[in-house]
Structure 1
């Protein structure tokens, strides 16, 4: 099953779902790039984009780069981001509110800590015996993508970046920052003592994605 097939927006056809997924993964893009990725003519791509703009899923902006005509970039709107699932958001928020009301902030912190420990146990088991950082990143990308985070990694010189293009628990993470801190600690422990992991982009702070910069300490 293709990864965009789970996006059940009835008003979008498969090409438009693929476009929306590409914008989710790569950020704002011109029509020509989307046309090339979708195997369409520029005019064909623009027709799909116009329909999605009419329905409010994407917007466009003009960007000037030196001499020449401005470039039109297309990006997902807040309504478009809402089409991607936030795993049981309302129920999760209700449960967090109830836990805090019944057991206080300490009880909520203990709940998050318990979740962190179980997740870390699973991650560390998955990377057991892996010596190479690249192998550990491959594993993290695989398991985080399976959990709905649309993860990927890449290397830029001596730096590595772990990127998550979606947060399926965004509502909970926005309400309680402990989830984000716990995930950062899990990444640090899973990737090992030989690296430094820092979050450099954060969805709940308004970024398009969460991104983690990974530096090997022996460089």
Structure 2
């Protein structure tokens, strides 16, 4: 991957995570000059992947903030689309809500087999959370471990939801995910404090010891 492509991707991922950043805000995360950041932004805006808005400041020049457009959001992994939702709706209408719940429970069981091979009971809770973040990243969730500076409380966020089209309509996928996290982390003290499907910027979790 060329440096130009990797920088372009880094900018898109930063805007996905932070939702909105200025040129100086982007520069803090990138090893390039503000001029180089601006060149990438001009290209991305020309491709309709990002948009900008100007915010006036009490003092000094107005600041331009950039964010992803709907087209920009579409470049990130999204395993399900409207067709999948329509199929689920048909199943629900013909077989009932229990059939939908069973589908998500089966998915949870398949995922559990993958997670238990990567997250070990003998590890500390912090290690388990970090391993979970790695597994979620491999599945396209754009997960990030958040350092809480607390040895008894841990946090992580997921900035992309590959099943957002389904999670917007059904609560069961989010319920299954939370249940799965509790099982693989070995604690019931797992709380979802923010959810993309409910309008949040990320799916953010807070994890504590038993």
| 1:162 maps onto 2:179 in alignment | no
Aligned length: 208
Distance in 2 (alpha carbons) for counterparts of 1:190 and 1:66: 49
> Could you tell me which of 140, 144, 150 is aligned with 2:136?
144
Alignment of 1:9-24 (within 5 A): 13-24=5-16
Structure 1 residue 77 displacement after superposition:
2.2
* Structure 1 stretch displaced more, 141-150 or 110-119: 110-119
**Contiguous gaps of at least 5 residues in structure 2:** none
The whole-number CA distance in structure 2 between the counterparts of 1:156 and 1:64 is: 33
Q: Confirm whether residue 206 of structure 1 aligns to residue 207 of structure 2.
A: no
With over 3 angstroms needed to count, the CA separation of the structure-2 counterparts of 1:82 and 1:213, relative to structure 1, is same
Equivalent of 2:85 in 93, 98, 105: 93
SS at match of 2:24: helix
Query: Could you say which residue in structure 2 is the equivalent of 1:187?
Result: 181
Structure 1 residue 124: deviation in Å?
3.3
* CA distances 1:177-200 after superposition (whole Å, capped 9, x unpaired): 21011101111222113x511111
Q: Which residue does 2:172 correspond to in 1?
A: 178
> Is 118-127 or 168-177 further displaced after alignment?
118-127
Q: TM-score, normalised by structure 2?
A: 0.84
For residues 84-125 of structure 1, give each alpha carbon's deviation from its aligned partner in whole angstroms, at most 9, with x where no partner exists: 131142442243123213311111111112222332343234
1:68/1:161 CA distance change after superposition, 3 Å: farther
* C-alpha contact (below 8 Å) 2:167/2:174 kept by paired residues: yes
